[in-house]
Structure 1
């Protein structure tokens, strides 16, 4: 016997409601899965080939970038064994081989499925800039050897090149402002950009060069000192300049060579009394070793085969006088907008972070707690006046750089105060740090942040379109389900009344 038409309609509507409801549930589950799944992670590798050593850093960031720039974090830092790559002039192949250990650590950290899509870059800084000036062929051989090793790795090798001083300074500025949350910040469930007034300046010092970078109070009058870039949807314009030969190692070489030249014409030509070395210190070195760097110039022909005996006198006043000879403070036509050696620089303003050798020297002297300028000056002078035997006894495991901390401390004070123009009042704006938020401060992270602007994102716009379509379909099925349920209820009511 055939069912009454009302029963058939009721069963059809009830089935439609069930199918529509189940479809809606599946759509909701699919969308929830999309929302809850972690974003795909991208990786990048950067080698920092400095003048005295090389470091490798691995960075990671979500593929769905924030305002076209990756939100990058440090995943690995590895110190390459041996000196900087510019030291391998007699064996360029070894420069490449020295990188294999840290590269292996990076490849072990990054999932194999990600290797081919991981960019890798090696940036050489002032040590290689100096070698390129001295012998461009040797510099080219070293870069070729490095590229030969890195190009064999399974990642996407972007090349090895010598960074310009301006790029080194600018990328360092990006790094410190990023890790401090001053370029982009996550707040109240969304990414926001802090006010530009909160940005900080960067003071970097390597072995061969030193950089200063900051946002000035007015327009930048010399385009060669201006760096511009776009990050997280905002444009930035900063002052930056790099001083080649004013890094710590080259400064120490120039300082000793200058003192030696004064003595070479005296009756005690083989003896150099060094006011920046502690009293009681003595060492012998070859004169030729002082003139290997393009930063050191001989005032007259010298007999480079002779040796020098260097004795410390522990005289900080005479040390400062010798350090000042490394600068040309009289070449500035407009002192208000000039640092030294005739280089344009607007007045410093705002807070600054000083890292690398700025930090290493002041950390050794326990001066990284934002002590007043008077305290910093007194501490350095008192350290310089300590006899060498007491200094050696106090720091038995730090002999390599021990003799140089006096000169480095007085050099930093001279550079910051007389060179860059900080005062007793603005000194309080300088923080000496080498890490922030668990991330090393340097140019490499800034480079990677800038690089992520060129790497396509994981199409977040497409996700939004898919999300919109899924939820629209969900709403339609909700309406259909409710209509089917209401229709079934109405048919059932009439059926019962009959």
Structure 2
């Protein structure tokens, strides 16, 4: 017996529904493969040529999400052996040669086929800024030597540049807010949205020669020379940022010691920031090499200076306070120190670099109160040198300076930047966030490669929905197939 016209129609409908369902299944599987298989990866290299050392960072990101947020990861962090490049004034060629070891590590990590397409940058900060002030020809020779080595590598070297202090602070701000996903977020509704007001964090950086502060204040920035403006992902940001040259860790220590020298002919200095029982001798000439040391140099720089520690934190704080000029008198509003305008502090802050390293050593990175931090540093300063040496074997290089650095950080953050007992808990002392070292290098690379677009690309939403849309189509068509089969069963003649 032949099929009735109704049976033929429902069979045709059933076949069509099954075919469409299979097509949708193929589509969703193709999309799933595209998502699950590793996307092509791009790389970027940044050298951070600081005052005391140089570091190399390799970053990587999936090509299909190049303008996404939070998709860049840190693939390598390498510390170059030796001092910062600004130290090679007597042998500029060695400044370039010193970079080869970390460069070779980076090239070994990145697939050879991608070398030519990998951008590489070198940014020099406060150490080279000081050298440029002191002797511009020496600075140019060092940059030339660095450029010769890096330009000879197989990657796309974009040049060695001197960062000004404002850029250093601003790129640090971009880095931390990008890594934390605070510039833009992907919502459950499938849209890229700007995070709520007030969620942005500030950046506090303490290097060897300078310190930077950057944050978005709660009100207007009245001194435009301290303002950096960005248009990122469709939003405008006005960031207060300032860099204090000569207020970095190493320059502070030199200025502090020079200030304790009572007279040009002195051969002995009693240092309240060094532990009692500590004693060292150093060439007097080394103390006056930096342009940050404003004290008049003695005529006889060939003599040595003996330094004895007294372990007196109270006297140490007083000596540190002499480094600051906290007099106000600014017409435009608040004054932090050194006659510089600063709006009132606002929001959370991440303190990194030497802020973190010093407080990590002192076990103060767990959101302790300001009172606890003060007591911890003061008690450490009072410990005799022999006890300190015995308690921290293998750390002799920096050990004598942790007392001075700890008290300096407390003074800088409270009397300099204006943190109080109430606002102190807003500071997090961190080395990393999201598995990445915090600093200016990531923000610098993101800016130069255009990886943070001014506007949020409209296709992001469509791309994000592609797999889910295919899945919905598949489910709908499968339902049609089931209904068609049920209908045929219903109308099919029963034996």
TM-score (normalizing by structure 1): 0.84
Aligned-partner SS, 1:141: helix
Are residues 1:450 and 2:451 paired? no
Farther off after superposition, 85-94 or 161-170: 85-94
Say how many residue pairs are matched.
465
Secondary structure at the counterpart of residue 227 of structure 1: strand
1:257 aligns with 2:258: yes
How far does residue 41 in structure 1 lie from its aligned partner after superposition? 2.2
Aligned to 1:96: 96
1:292 aligns with 2:292: no
More moved, 296-305 vs 133-142: 296-305
Residue matched to 2:194:
193
Counterparts of 2:395 and 2:317, CA distance in 1: 24
Mapped partners of 1:455, 1:241: distance in 2: 23
Aligned partner of residue 158 in structure 2, secondary structure: strand
Deviation string 1:134-181 (CA, Å, 9 cap, x unpaired) is: 111111111111111111222111111111111110111111122222
Deviation of 1:30 after TM superposition, in Å, equals: 6.4
Question: In 2 relative to 1, CA 181–23 (structure 1 residues): closer, same or farther, beyond 3 Å?
Answer: closer
Larger radius of gyration between Structure 1 and Structure 2: 1
CA distance in 2, matches of 1:155, 1:143: 18
CA distance in 2, matches of 1:23, 1:118: 44
Deviations 1:338-375 (A, max 9, x none): 11111010011211111110111111111111111111
Q: 1:211 and 2:229 equivalent? A: no
Distance 1:198 1:34, change over 3 A: same
Mapped to 2, the partners of 1:117 and 1:458 lie a distance apart of 23
Secondary structure of the 2:447 match is: helix
- Distance of 2:204 and 2:161 partners within structure 1: 23
Deviations 1:96-132 (A, max 9, x none): 1111121122122222222222111011111111111
CA distance in 2, matches of 1:242, 1:125: 11
How far, CA to CA, are the matches of 2:254 and 2:299 in structure 1?
16
Aligned CA distance change for structure 1 residues 232 and 32 (closer, same or farther; 3 Å): farther
Deviation at 1:387, TM superposition (A): 0.9
| CA deviations over 1:234-269 (Å, ceiling 9, x no partner) | 222110000000000000000001111x2435xxx2
Q: Give 1:350's aligned residue.
A: 347
Superposed, 1:56-75 pairs within 5 Å as: 56-65=56-65, 71-75=71-75
Any conservation in 1 of the 2:50–2:125 contact (CA below 8 Å)?
yes
Equivalent position SS for 2:425: helix
- Aligned position for 1:5: none
Structure 1 residues 177 and 364: CA distance shift in structure 2, 3 A: same
Tell me the secondary structure at the aligned position of residue 82 of structure 2.
coil
Could you tell me whether the CA contact under 8 Å between 1:332 and 1:341 is conserved in 2? Answer: no
User: Equivalent residue for 1:363?
Assistant: 360
Contact 1:44–1:118 (8 Å) recurs in 2: yes
SS at match of 1:116: coil
2:186 matched to 1:165? no
> What is the aligned partner in structure 2 of residue 46 from structure 1?
46
Cα distance in 1 for residues equivalent to 2:307 and 2:332: 37
Q: 1:379 to 1:63 in 2, by over 3 A?
A: same
- The Cα of 1:77 is off from its aligned counterpart by 1.1
SS in 2 for 1:283: strand
* Inter-partner Cα distance in structure 1 for 2:426 and 2:177: 15
For residues 335 and 375 of structure 1, do their structure 2 counterparts lie closer, same or farther at Cα, with a shift above 3 Å needed? farther
Counterpart-to-counterpart distance in 2, 1:123 and 1:28? 50
Q: Is the 8 A contact 2:88 2:94 kept in 1?
A: yes
CA shift digits 1:59-116 (9 cap, x unpaired): 1122234767673121111111111111111111111111112112212222222222
Name whichever of 323-332 and 211-220 sits farther off. Answer: 323-332
CA pair 74-300 structure 1, distance change in 2 beyond 3 A = closer
Decide whether the 8 Å contact of 1:50 with 1:207 is kept in 2.
Answer: yes
Q: Distance in 1 between matches of 2:457 and 2:32?
A: 14
Mapped partners of 2:393, 2:210: distance in 1: 29
Superposed, which structure 2 residues align to 1:140-151 within 5 Å? Answer: 140-151=140-151
**TM-score, normalised to structure 2's length?**
0.85
Moved more, 186-195 or 355-364: 186-195
Q: 2 CA distance for matches of 1:50 and 1:156?
A: 22
Q: 2-side partners of 1:392 and 1:197: how far apart?
A: 45
Kept in 2, the 8 Å contact 1:70–1:453? The answer is: no
Find the aligned partners of 2:178 and 2:324 in 1 and give their Cα distance: 33
CA contact (8 A) 1:50 1:124 kept: yes
Root-mean-square deviation (CA), in Å? 3.4
Could you tell me which of 260, 270, 283 is aligned with 2:267? 270
Change over 3 Å in CA distance of 1:440–1:244 after alignment to 2 = same
Query: Judging changes above 3 Å, is the alpha-carbon distance between structure 1 residues 338 and 33 closer, same or farther for their aligned structure 2 residues?
Result: same
Distance 1:24 1:114, change over 3 A: farther
Q: Deviations over 1:407-438 (max 9, x none)?
A: 10111111111111111111111111111121
2:335 counterpart residue number: 338
Once the two structures are TM-superposed, the CA of residue 232 in structure 1 deviates from its matched residue by 2.7
Deviates more, 1:48-57 or 1:245-254: 48-57
What is aligned with 1:82? 82
- Map of 2:244 onto structure 1: 243
User: Contact 1:64 / 1:460 at 8 angstroms: preserved in 2?
Assistant: no
Q: Give the conservation status (yes or no) of the 8 Å contact 2:273–2:309.
A: yes
Distance 1:119 1:170, change over 3 A: same
Q: 1:458 to 1:196 in 2, by over 3 A?
A: closer
